[in-house]
Amino acid sequence: MIKIVEWTDEGVVMIDQRVLPTEEIYPCYKTYPEVAKAIKDMVVRGAPAIGVAAAMGIALGAKTLPDTLEAFDQGFEKICQDFAETRPTAVNLFWAIEKMKLTLEACKRDKLSINEIKEELVKQAIAIHRADITANEEMGRNGAALMPNEGVVLTHCNAGALATAGYGTALGVIRAARSAGKNLAVYSDETRPFLQGARLTCWELQKDEIPVTLITDNMAGHFMKLGKIQAVIVGADRIAANGDVANKIGTYMVAVLAKENNIPFYVAAPLSTLDLKIKSGEQIPIEERSSLEVTHIKGQQVAPIGVNVANPAFDVTPNQYVKAIITEKGVAYPPYTETLAKLFE
Ligand code: MRU
């Protein structure tokens, strides 16, 4: 299995996803601001992986804090704040920060020493990492039955091992379905502007010898109409209580096309991606990224200097396009306002 984010005594080791697939390098990020910058700069990306990296970054930062409780508390708050400001859309980031805060609270209640607190925070970050892999494997088992026995599944962006602690959400379901004997191949949208589909999804599927065909984003409708695609499965960055799904920009377009062509559109995500505090997708903050991601590809200018650019990193797919939401606790079907809440019971 590829190592995406790993805790080591020296720091947090992460595969640098910006340079894949041409280079496979694993730098070590030794301070918490370095980990926070790595999240912002997309060294590590994908909602669950961002959460895991943030938890480890917080544990790393906490190790350097002073030994008096008041100073520790202040420093801890600042570290959490710095991580909260890295990327706004994936709720797994805020879920992980909250988990680390709750761990600190529990340690204080138990009157642990500062050194013991530091150790507990490291343990919690490692536990979050492990739990994410287990959740993905369970999600895979839950979703495999929904996949066709044979044919092509389209995916958008990268919701694979690289976007998680390992195995993947949407790609985890495809992996599990294939392990269960289903004869599935994948069509991967390239996913402009950051090319997660072309660079990352194709790379990890090729490594696993899962047949994959790369298409540009504007080809999806064409292949659906030709009957070449039997199902669509994507991941999510945040799912509202009513089942509206924020995911990589372009997902909405794929979901509408799938409905028009009578193709089931599935979302696979862990419970840490569900944000039941918000009623609908309208309340999900959408990250706007640098215009350079659109005007340039790998440093090569592809648009005139000075042109106006919009670069929202995510869009929201309304719940009526989503046939089912696959989680580690089971599969939710509409009406999502009822079924998603039940997953937490
Ligand atoms: O901007 P990114 O690469 O972090 O966006 C990633 C996605 O949109 C994924 O589809 C989502 O996080 C689900 S990952 C299991």
- pLDDT tens for 298-338 read 899 999 999 999 999 999 999 999 999 999 999 999 999 99
Q: How far apart are the C-alpha atoms of 54 and 250, rounded to whole Å? A: 26
8 Å CB contact between 115 and 250: no
pLDDT of the residue at 265 = 99
Nearest to 302 by CA among 312, 293, 313: 293
Quick one: DSSP state of residue 93? H
By most ligand atoms within 8 Å of CB, the mutation choice from 248, 254, 294, 317 for ligand 1 is 248
Contacts (Cβ under 8 Å, ≥6 apart) of 243: 319, 322, 325, 332, 334, 335, 336, 337, 340
142-342 CATH: 3.40.50.10470
Q: Residue 35: is its pLDDT beyond 80?
A: yes
pLDDT in tens, 97-142: 999 999 999 999 999 999 999 999 999 999 999 999 999 999 999 9
Question: Using CA atoms, how far apart are residues 288 and 268, in angstroms rounded to an integer?
Answer: 24
CA distance 65 to 32: 11
Task: Record the tokens describing residue 59, joined without a space.
Answer: 């544990």
Hey, which of 136, 234, 247 would you mutate to test ligand 1's pocket, going by the most ligand atoms within 8 Å of its Cβ?
247
- Which residues have CB under 8 Å from 336's CB, separation 6+? 241, 242, 243, 319, 322, 325
> Please, what is the end-to-end C-alpha distance for the chain in angstroms?
32
Q: How far is the CA of 112 from the centre of ligand 1 (A)?
A: 37
- Which atom of ligand 1 lies nearest, measured to the CA of 314? 8
- Which pLDDT tens digit goes with each residue over 230-269? 999 999 999 999 999 999 999 999 999 999 999 999 999 9
| Ligand 1: centre distance to CA 233 (Å) | 13
Mean pLDDT over 159-174 rounds to: 98
Ligand 1 centroid – CA 314 distance (Å): 9
Cα(45)–Cα(72) distance, integer angstroms = 29
Of ligand 1's listed atoms, the one at least distance from the Cα of 164 is 15
> For residue 2, what pLDDT band results from cuts at 50, 70 and 90?
confident
Query: 109: which 2 tokens?
Result: 């209640």
* Amino acid 289: pLDDT: 97
Query: Phi first, then psi: what are they for 111, rounded to 5°?
Result: 55, 45
CATH of 5-137, one of 2.60.40.10, 1.20.1440.230, 1.10.357.10, 1.20.120.420: 1.20.120.420
C-alpha dist (Å) from residue 344 to 44, 47, 140, 258: 28, 20, 19, 29
Ligand 1 first shell, C-beta below 6 A: 45-48, 90, 157, 159, 163-164, 169, 196, 234-237, 247-248, 313
pLDDT at 1 over 80: no
Which of 247, 1, 35, 276 shows the shortest CA–CA distance to 130?
A: 1
The C-alpha atoms of residue 270 and residue 27 are separated, in whole angstroms, by 27
Give the active site residues: 237
> What are phi and psi for residue 82, nearest 5 degrees?
-60, -40
**274 and 145 Cβ atoms separated by less than 8 Å:** no
Looking from the CA of residue 196, the nearest atom of ligand 1 is 3
Question: Is the pLDDT assigned to residue 94 strictly greater than 90?
Answer: yes
For the chain, which residues make up each domain, given as ranges? 5-137, 142-342
Provide the pLDDT confidence category of residue 91 given band limits of 50, 70 and 90. Answer: very high
Share of the chain above pLDDT 90, in %: 99
- Atom 8 of ligand 1: nearest residue by CA position: 248
Q: Look at residue 46 in the predicted model and tell me its pLDDT.
A: 98
Predicted pLDDT at 147 = 98
Predicted confidence (pLDDT) at residue 14 exceeds the cutoff of 90: yes
Quote the CA–CA distance of 227 and 136 in Å, as a whole number. 29
Q: Which atom of ligand 1 is nearest to the CA of 287?
A: 1
Q: Name the DSSP letter for residue 10.
A: S
Query: CB 134: neighbour CB atoms within 10 A?
Result: 14
Q: Is the pLDDT of residue 225 over 90?
A: yes
